Amino acid sequence: MLKNKFINHVKIIIMKLKEEIKNYIIEASLEDADKIKDDTLIFDTGLLDSMGLLFLIEFLNENYQVEVIDDELNPKNFESINSIVSFVEGKLKTQAAV
């Protein structure tokens, strides 16, 4: 029972994380929310550019205490909302394990 509550709590946190990241990208790109899906390729579609990536990294650091090191500046980590959420989730799990 306790395990199920914990799993549900984690799912809610991840859903909130996804919503916050999506809202950030919508605000930063000034794009219509209906045009941005969780798997939309952010850089290929021009939603963000390299400067936008720097601001996104700053947003992640300020809001989730996620620091991105040079080796993690891999396009796969930031190509879509889904990939950003997976990246942040992995970083948070690593931080929690320490």
pLDDT digits (tens, 9 = 90+) for 19-57: 999 999 999 999 999 999 999 999 999 999 999 999 999
What was the pLDDT predicted at 80?
A: 98
What was the pLDDT predicted at 26?
A: 96
CA distance 98 to 60: 19
Tokens of 19: 């919503």
For the chain, which residues make up each domain, given as ranges?
Answer: 2-97
Confidence class for position 95, pLDDT limits 50, 70, 90 = confident
Q: With left for phi above 0 and alpha for psi between -120 and 50, is residue 74 left, alpha or beta?
A: beta
pTM of the model: 0.89
CATH, range 2-97:
1.10.1200.10
CA distance 7 to 70: 32
The answer to whether residues 62 and 90 touch, using CB atoms and an 8 Å cutoff, is no
